[in-house]
Amino acid sequence: MRKDVRILLVGEPKVGKTSLIMSLVSEEFPDEVPLRAEEITIPADVTPERVPTHIVDYSEAEQSDEQLYQEISKANVICIVYSVNNKKSIEKVTSHWIPLINERTDKDSRVPLILVGNKSDLVEHSSMETILPIMNQYSEIETCVECSAKNLKNISELFYYAQKAVLHPTGPLYSPEEKEMKSSCVKALTRIFKISDLDNDGILNDSELNFFQRTCFNIPLALQALEDVKNVVRKNLLDGVKDNGLTLKGFLFLHTLFIQRGRHETTWTVLRRFGYDDDLELTQEYLFPLLKIPPDCTTELNHNAYLFLQSVFDKHDKDRDCALSPDELKDLFKVFPYMPWGPDVNNTVCTNEQGWITYQGYLSQWTLTTYLDVQRCLEYLGYLGYSIIQEQESQAAAITVTRSKRIDLQKKQTQRSVFRCNVLGARDSGKSGFLQAFLGRNLARQNRIRDEHKSYYAISTTYVYGQEKYLLLHEVLPDFEFLSEADLACDVVCLVYDISNPHSFEYCAKVYKKHFIDSKTPCVIIGAKSDLHETRQYYSTSPLDFCRKHKLHPPQLFTCNTADAPSKDIYTKLTTMAMYPHSKLRCMCTCNRCTFCICHNLLNSELVRSVKAKLYSAVLTRHMTQADLKNSTFWLRASVGATVFAVLGFAMYKALLKQR
């Protein structure tokens, strides 16, 4: 809503413009009336709408035409004053004033007009019969008021209607000629209906109507009031009420009725609560609330945001197959002014066999948007009505700004959930295949992807020590000389080369030596297309010797040319390295023969987990049943038990090691 209102009074000389202003201010008719009143400002706390109001007078005797034109351009609403006992002043409304004002204002944003019939105390008849045809002819005329500056009749009402014409204009909502709401208003109210229809059944039930009422007007509707509203719709519209709930047609009919009965402030209250401005566009303040992001910090969705997005998914997944069909996805985005997700999204996240975005893929795409472009995420959440449904001040409440990565490195731990891996390599080295394999697609499925639908990102979840994390892979274009800071900024780096191409590794070696040799970012070299015959690389040192020289893990062989979905082990290891870049205890091999692998497999085997659980249960049961829990002997026995368990574990490890 506007922060202030500027009202301009124009009309023929001697019709009482100045008297109206002075009567309003002093609450009595002035004995002496100057040629023109000075501009006055009415404070917000004494106006019905709580908005400061500036009232400007015009005098032909004191002001030039140029000054008049300037005032017309600055005015939010113009009152054309005529004298009810002077036919010439009424004729001048259409012959002079309305054409003059329209010439000086833009056709698409006409200033609302109020026709003011002053000096009603001098006549016994009304001028409405003469004025009504004028009102029907000009849509920019909001209303007509007859008043008297002498006996103060309708003076306050006049300026209230002028205020209302600015703050709650009819023009953007309703077409008097066609006697129906304008398409832009229908579009906005349809979005509001869809957001408020929490179960997406096309009906606002009593619970949803009450939530809507409380959201917009801060008070719930009584049961009888709800029934009265539905009865009004039933009487006037055949399909306005269904299953005792309000349909979209019924919802639109109600607002049409409000506008026709002069209660358009009700509709404006609803529109503004859902973020609309006077032009029925969502405001920048609503779509892009202030969010401060310090350097070296990332943005993620918080728990409440994921719960909200889950409810949106469930609301539109009508067949309950945990995936969104094209029609379901289209229905979800009907509250958007455009389709935000293109075909490339289907190659960025996990999909089912039909190529539809799964629940996991849906959340992954939102996670990706939040990480890469948080302003766009805020915009999208605004379209979905996040702040309204979640009853938050803005959708900025959905975002968590992580602490600086520098602090994570100092503390050797992180609270982040999303980790970025930049994938670099020469052309045709297998980078795209590496990304798509993360989404569970083997080479056969990848070959069906059209070039124009290709994505340079892939995101999905991995599990590190039982914690679910998002790994975001970004394929960096192989332009060695022009790698930007964004191409280099990440949590872990993958350098991919084709083991069957003798020239492929050279790119990886040069990129590493130029950009990452002194970096604290973990690096992994991937030998892609391992199903093909490995050839000797023409670089001065072999990939294995290069890794040894620079204290990197040995090259990780990888292929996506498999019968089933490619293995995801490498992605878990990449996420682990991203989470713990400071840790030296990292094993990148898959041999299951080295000490690290044996220890890891042993400690996570079903047998050991079962033995540990039984031992713990037995010790706990035995000691909890004894009365001397607080005695020092209890802790002695517990210590002995723990020692026995440790010895047994080590013995099992040695036995397995011998066997191998």
Supply the pLDDT for residue 644: 55
Q: How confident is the model at residue 486 (pLDDT cuts 50, 70, 90)?
A: confident
Give the DSSP letter of residue 349.
S
228-286 pLDDT, tens per residue? 999 999 999 999 999 999 999 999 999 999 998 888 899 999 999 999 998 999 999 99
Closest listed residue to residue 191, CA positions, set 301, 122, 93, 270: 270
Q: What sign does the CA torsion over 42, 48, 49, 50 have?
A: positive
| Distance, CA of 605 to CA of 620 (rounded, Å) | 23
Supply the pLDDT for residue 542: 95
When pLDDT is averaged across residues 340-364 and rounded to a whole number, the result is 96
Q: Residue 411 CA to chain centroid, in angstroms?
A: 33
In this predicted structure, the answer to whether residue 75 has a pLDDT above a threshold of 50 is yes
Packing angle between helix 183-196 and helix 264-273, nearest 10 degrees? 60
Closest listed residue to residue 120, CA positions, set 139, 145, 137: 145
Full 3-state SS string of 13-38: CCCCHHHHHHHHHHCCCCCCCCCCCC
Supply the pLDDT for residue 553: 92
Supply the pLDDT for residue 412: 87
Supply the pLDDT for residue 592: 40
| Distance, CA of 444 to CA of 456 (rounded, Å) | 19
Contact 267, 179 (CB under 8 A): no
| Distance, CA of 655 to CA of 660 (rounded, Å) | 9
489-502 pLDDT, tens per residue? 899 999 999 999 99
